[in-house]
């Protein structure tokens, strides 16, 4: 049946991980850069077929192979591999992967529509409004993918050596990819509706399970098909980045790739904001209802405000000099709500409510880690409010439950302070790096979700297994378990990764200046 996009993407990223592992173990990265193997859909066919002008019809031929560009029979028989430079062959492979992965993606979208959405039994079970929330504008997304793929195929068939694909990516991103923003922005409603349907409608639950068992689905879940558009638009940006790293500098193809990347980044950011907007609004309303102000009330709900971190800490009671380690209640519980522009300090009261007794703008917060003062004062830090709710300076001595929790609070409260490996006021030169080998879904607002093969700068780490990192391809920052990745030990590979990152973002000078020193929270 060939590879569905989920399988294709998984194999491609795992191959990327293995290539980096090999490079990291070598002294010279250039000596260990094997051709990236794009996942193969079938066994290679005879090299005697398709000797005529190339007809690489990935859309119309359901059994088409997803081999390397250089393994195509028409490429091998043409003799072009003996003429092209190695760098040009790598570029051809990068462009070919963008085309073949789009074909695989279209195939998975088609299955989502034909196998699930258009199932007659499912249509009878779902109300029209439920179906609309569940599938949104997926038909528009599929139509856009088909048109995009046809244009890519036409380009591939023009010449056995692909001239460019980023100009096509640019045109389609500008003119058609807004359908992705609509689909992805519906994700919060979609997830909620799916969970509710599974819970409330046994017939829906049973039918989805039956449809998932069909061999066409290759053991993949219905939800893995629903999330395809968001995964694809993000991956497409990375594929263009991969092309950009391989085109000759100051060339027309570099200019086109930069333009395509910039437009894709705009769409991806709009998708992310669409997802966040709804969940943030609902979260702010929920928090507002739980707060009771002992001080002058502060309006919590704002379109430009969102939660960064919340949780319980232990506050030291009374002046530091008046307490000894024998005091039974050296600390008492307080609860913090930290927003992107405001800190609210509370005490939990009965009825799942919080009484606010102090607050301060986030920009007027300072933190200081205490020197080692024994087990009772481990993981303790000082929080200073330069101007609190009473318009005066206030200090709190706070104890976290672990070293990682202390560091996470300190970085969230004062994001521009120096971390273990880098100062946020200087450019990164050579700090540790890590590549993701296990995907991770963020559990807290200050955490970072990771995809396979993501490469990140390590900005800080804790002894209890957490890393604060910055992903190179989008400069997003957050915490994640160290077990999710493998550190890149070769300094040449780290330097190469940074060089490629700077090149990708060089079209935006201000972004380049801030690369490695800007906090995206």
Q: 509: which 2 tokens?
A: 């000078």
Query: 13: Cβ–Cβ under 8 A, 6 or more apart, which residues?
Result: 451, 452, 453
Mention the CATH class of domain 294-320+329-413.
mainly beta
- The ranges of the chain annotated as CATH 1.20.900.10 are 65-286
- The ranges of the chain annotated as CATH 2.30.29.30 are 294-320+329-413
Computed over every residue of the chain, the mean pLDDT equals 85
Classified by CATH at the fold level, domain 424-514 comes out as SH3 type barrels. (2.30.30)
Q: What is the pLDDT of residue 323?
A: 47
Q: What is the pLDDT of residue 447?
A: 95
H or E element at residue 388: none
pTM exceeds 0.85, yes or no: no
Give the 3-state DSSP-derived string for 159-183, with helices as H, strands as E and coil as C: CCCCCCCHHHHHHHHHHCCHHHHHH
Q: What is the pLDDT of residue 514?
A: 46
What CATH architecture is 65-286? Up-down Bundle (1.20)
Q: 119: which 2 tokens?
A: 């199932």
Q: Are 354 and 347 spatial neighbours (Cβ–Cβ below 8 Å)?
A: yes
Dihedral angle over CA of 164, 184, 218, 61, nearest 10? -30
- The ranges of the chain annotated as CATH 2.30.30.40 are 424-514
Q: Are 101 and 235 spatial neighbours (Cβ–Cβ below 8 Å)?
A: yes
Tell me the per-residue pLDDT of 417-472, one tens digit each, with 9 for 90 and over.
666 666 544 445 678 999 999 999 999 999 999 999 999 999 999 999 999 999 99
Q: What is the pLDDT of residue 415?
A: 82
Give the 3-state DSSP-derived string for 312-369, with helices as H, strands as E and coil as C: EEEEECCCHHHCCCCCCCCEEEEEEEEECCEEEEEEEECCCEEEEEEEEEHHHEEEEE
Q: 249: which 2 tokens?
A: 């500098």
Q: How far is CA 76 from CA 94, 142, 160, 195, 503, in A?
A: 18, 33, 10, 50, 32
Instruction: List beta partners, residue 368.
Output: 382
Q: Which of 423, 343, 416, 349 is nearest to 383 (CA)?
A: 343
Q: What is the pLDDT along the chain (521 residues), one digit of tens a residue?
A: 368 888 888 888 888 889 888 888 876 655 545 444 444 433 333 333 333 333 444 444 444 444 689 888 889 899 999 999 999 999 999 999 999 999 999 999 999 999 999 999 999 999 999 999 999 999 999 999 999 999 999 999 999 999 999 999 999 999 999 999 999 999 989 999 999 999 999 999 999 999 999 999 999 999 999 999 999 999 999 999 999 999 999 999 999 999 999 999 999 999 999 888 878 888 999 999 999 999 988 889 988 899 999 999 999 875 544 444 444 567 899 999 999 999 999 999 999 999 999 999 999 999 998 876 666 678 899 999 999 999 999 999 999 999 999 999 999 999 876 666 665 444 456 789 999 999 999 999 999 999 999 999 999 999 999 999 999 988 899 999 999 999 999 999 999 899 888 888 765 544 444 444 444 44
Count Cβ atoms below 10 Å from residue 371 Cβ, excluding itself: 6
């Amino acid at each position: 049946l060939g590879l569905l996009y989920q399988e294709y993407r998984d194999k491609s990223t795992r191959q990327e991980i293995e290539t980096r592992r090999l490079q990291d173990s070598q002294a010279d990265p250039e000596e260990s850069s094997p051709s990236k193997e794009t996942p193969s859909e079938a066994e290679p066919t005879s090299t005697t077929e398709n000797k005529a002008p190339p007809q690489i019809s990935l859309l119309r031929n359901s059994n088409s192979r997803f081999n390397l560009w250089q393994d195509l029979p028409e490429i091998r028989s043409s003799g072009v591999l003996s003429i092209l430079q190695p760098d040009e062959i790598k570029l051809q492979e990068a462009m070919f992967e963008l085309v073949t992965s789009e074909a695989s993606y279209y195939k998975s979208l088609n299955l989502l529509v034909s196998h699930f959405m258009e199932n007659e039994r499912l249509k009878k079970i779902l109300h029209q409004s439920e179906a609309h929330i569940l599938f949104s504008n997926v038909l528009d997304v599929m139509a856009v993918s088909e048109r995009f793929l046809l244009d890519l195929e036409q380009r591939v068939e023009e010449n056995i050596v692909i001239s460019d694909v980023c100009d096509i990516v640019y045109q389609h991103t500008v003119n058609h990819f807004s359908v992705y923003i609509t689909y992805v922005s519906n994700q919060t409603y979609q997830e909620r509706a799916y969970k509710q349907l599974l819970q409330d409608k046994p017939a829906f639950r049973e039918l989805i399970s039956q449809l998932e068992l069909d061999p066409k689905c290759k053991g993949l879940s219905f939800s893995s098909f629903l999330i395809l558009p968001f995964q694809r638009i993000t991956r497409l940006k990375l594929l263009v980045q991969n092309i950009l790293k391989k085109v000759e500098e100051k060339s027309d193809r570099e200019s086109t790739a930069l333009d395509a990347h910039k437009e894709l980044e705009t769409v991806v950011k709009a998708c992310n904001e669409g997802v966040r907007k709804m969940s943030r609004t609902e979260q702010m309303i929920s928090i507002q209802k739980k707060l009771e102000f002992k001080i002058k009330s502060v309006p919590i709900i704002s379109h430009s405000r969102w939660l960064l971190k919340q949780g319980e800490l232990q506050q030291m009671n009374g002046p530091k000099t008046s307490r000894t380690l024998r005091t039974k209640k050296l600390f008492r519980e307080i609860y913090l709500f930290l927003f992107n522009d405001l800190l609210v300090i509370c005490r939990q009261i009965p009825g799942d409510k919080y009484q606010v007794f102090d607050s301060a703008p986030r920009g007027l917060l300072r933190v200081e880690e205490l020197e080692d003062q024994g087990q009772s004062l481990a993981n303790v830090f000082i929080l200073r409010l330069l101007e609190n709710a009473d318009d005066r300076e206030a200090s709190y001595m706070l104890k976290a439950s672990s070293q990682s929790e202390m560091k996470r609070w300190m970085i969230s409260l004062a994001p521009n302070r120096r971390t273990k490996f880098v100062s946020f006021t200087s450019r990164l030169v050579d700090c540790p790096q890590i590549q993701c080998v296990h995907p991770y879904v963020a559990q807290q607002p200050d955490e970072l979700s990771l995809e396979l093969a993501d490469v990140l700068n390590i900005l800080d780490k804790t002894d209890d297994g957490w890393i604060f990192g910055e992903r190179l391809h989008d400069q997003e920052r957050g915490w994640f378990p160290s077990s999710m990745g493998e550190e890149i030990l070769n300094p040449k590979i780290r330097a190469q990764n940074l060089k490629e990152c700077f090149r990708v973002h060089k079209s935006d000078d201000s972004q380049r200046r801030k690369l490695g020193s800007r906090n995206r929270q």
